[in-house]
């Protein structure tokens, strides 16, 4: 049911094919984030038209609402949401970072106070696996601890060691044959800790590996050092997933370092706030200079938004608080990300990724 093949390379950049029970995913790939089982402000029809091939959903949030057992009883996320393509679920480990004020970490797992109603919940490796098996995504993630970028080295080391132990427990607890389980490399921005974590996880022979604990406040050059440290240690024949990163510039740099899979809330969250990504840089639709601008957001973009609406109209909708503004801007931002990833893949296939990367980075620094 599963396979992964690297079909072409250009430098360290890879173009691959990931086969899952719900379809193929061509890599490098960007996964739109549907935390609660839906990508905010867009319909599945829009995602299909945009060419999204795999979506991400979140274990912690779905465990709380509507409940993973209910989702499982209704046939899993695919049947529950109606999305027929591949799905990936995060383990809930990121919430160890993002909900630091509502949790306590121990060797057993993490005790959370629900951000919804304050109720107490324990999320352990075993519980995370039960939840993810109930959700039934094609790819599940081992439970991990994600420390902040400002954490002392001793705290980062303890989190990395705990992540290894939790990965072993996740491996033992996971038993669903139609679901791949990826391990997550931690270790903060300390190369020695990253190397140790990668070696320990590779020894467990997961079918794929994620690099977690980045895009949490560290500087970009430091992140690139971490990727340069980890990438040579990960198996060439298995997919690599950089979690939660990031901007198009970040993705270009990570692809150059051998990463295959990406997710980030930036294109959807920024759209709801009036922030627009184009292949020639970013703009804020709130800016008064767009009040009478008849141009589309990006004249080179073929998405529904750019085919049918002007900057002036989109500014009016956003400033008026119309719900459709979030939808139209999200469609465009996702189109920019997904189109860029397709172009990246094509450049790898034709052996000209580095040339494409340099051209794209220059273009992203202009003013649209």
Please give the DSSP secondary-structure letter assigned to residue 342. H
Name the pairing type of β-strands 209-211 and 180-185.
parallel
Q: How far apart are CA 157 and CA 154, in angstroms?
A: 5
Q: How many CB atoms neighbour CB 366 within 10 A? A: 10
Determine whether 46 is an active site residue: no
Bridge partners for 343 per DSSP: none
CB atoms within 10 A of CB 154: 8
- Signed CA dihedral, 243, 226, 362, 284: sign only: positive
Q: Which of 138, 263, 298, 339 is catalytic?
A: 263
Residues forming beta bridges with residue 184, ordered by sequence position = 210
- For the chain, where are the E strands, in sequence order? 3-10, 13-20, 23-27, 29-31, 55-58, 87-90, 103-105, 110-113, 120-123, 139-141, 180-185, 209-211, 240-242, 261-263, 275-278, 281-284
User: How far is 274 from 285, CA to CA, in rounded Å?
Assistant: 5
90 annotated active-site = yes
Annotated active-site residue in 46, 90, 138, 260: 90
Active site residues: 90, 263
């Amino acid at each position: 049911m599963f396979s992964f093949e690297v079909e072409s390379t250009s430098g360290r950049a890879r173009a691959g094919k990931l086969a899952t029970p719900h379809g193929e995913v061509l890599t490098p790939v960007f996964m739109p984030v549907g935390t609660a089982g839906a990508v905010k402000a867009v319909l599945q029809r829009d995602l299909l038209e945009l060419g999204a091939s795999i979506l991400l959903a979140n274990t912690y949030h779905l465990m709380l609402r509507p409940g993973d057992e209910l989702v499982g009883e209704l046939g899993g996320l695919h049947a529950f949401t109606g999305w027929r393509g591949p799905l990936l679920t995060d383990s809930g480990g990121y919430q160890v970072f993002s909900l630091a004020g509502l949790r306590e970490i121990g060797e057993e797992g993490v005790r959370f106070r629900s951000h919804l109603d304050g109720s107490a919940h324990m999320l352990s490796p075993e519980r995370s696996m039960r939840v993810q098996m109930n959700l039934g995504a094609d790819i599940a993630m081992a439970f991990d601890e994600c420390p902040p970028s400002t954490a002392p080295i001793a705290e980062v080391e303890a989190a990395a060691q705990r992540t290894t132990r939790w990965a072993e427990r996740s491996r033992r607890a996971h038993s669903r044959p139609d679901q791949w389980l990826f391990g997550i490399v931690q270790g903060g921005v300390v190369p020695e800790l990253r190397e140790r974590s990668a070696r320990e996880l590779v020894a467990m022979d997961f079918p794929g590996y994620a690099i977690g604990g980045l895009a949490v406040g560290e500087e970009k050059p430091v992140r690139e050092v971490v990727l340069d440290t980890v990438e040579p240690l990960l198996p060439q024949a298995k997919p690599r997933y950089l979690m939660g990163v990031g901007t198009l510039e970040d993705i270009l740099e990570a692809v150059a370092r051998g990463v295959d899979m990406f997710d980030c809330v930036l294109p959807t969250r920024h759209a709801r706030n009036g922030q627009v990504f184009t292949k020639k840089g970013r703009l804020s639709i709130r800016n008064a200079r767009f009040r009478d601008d008849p141009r589309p957001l990006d004249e080179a973009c073929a998405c529904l938004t750019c085919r049918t609406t002007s900057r002036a109209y989109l500014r009016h909708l956003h400033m008026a608080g119309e719900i459709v503004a979030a939808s139209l801007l999200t469609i465009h931002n996702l189109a920019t990300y997904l189109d860029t990833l397709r172009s990246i893949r094509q450049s790898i296939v034709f052996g000209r990724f580095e040339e494409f990367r340099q051209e794209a980075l220059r273009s992203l620094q202009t003013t649209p």
